[in-house]
Structure 1
Amino acid sequence: MKHPFKRSTKKLILFVLVVFSLQIGCNKKPSSDQNNHLTIDLSAPGSTIFLPLTEIAEDIQMTQLETRNDCLVSHFRGFAGKKHIICFERNNVLHFTSDGTFIGEIMRAGQGPGEFYHIGAWDVDESERFLIIYDSNKDFIYRYDLDKGEFVTPIKNVTPTFADAMQFLNDSMIALLPSVYSNSEHHYLIYSLNGDVSKGPKREVLDNPRLQFTGISADFRKTKSNNIVYRPRTSDTIYQINETEMTPLFVPIIEKKRQSGNVTEGEYTEHIYLSEDYLYLYKNQFKHETNSEANSISITMSHGNFYVINLKTREIFDSRGLSAKYLGVSLPLWRIFPSGGNRFNFSVSAMDFIESIDRGIDGDQISPEDLEFITQLRKSISEEDNPIIFSGTFKENIDLSHLK
Structure 2
Amino acid sequence: VSVKAGELVKLVLAQESRGSDKLIPLPNPTALKALRRGHVILMDDGRAAFKVESASESEAILRALTDALITSRKTIVIQGSGLDLPAITDREVNAIKFAVENGFDYIGLSYVRGEEDISMLRGILLSLGAEQTSIIAKIETPVAVRRLKEIVAAADVVLVARGDLGMHFPLEEVPELQRKIIRLCVECGKPVIVATQLLGSMIESPVPTRSEVVDVVSALMDGVDVLMLTGETAIGRYPVEAVKWLSKIIERYEPTIKPPKREVKPENHIGDRFAAGIVSLAESLNAVIAVYTRSGRTAERIASFKPTCRVISASPNEKTLRKLALIRGIETLRVSAQSYEEGLDELEVKIRSSRDIPENSTVILTYGMRGEPVHIVKIIQLRKAED
Query: What range describes the TM-score normalised by the shorter chain of this pair?
Result: under 0.3
TM-score (norm 2): 0.26
The structure with the greater share of residues assigned to strand is 1
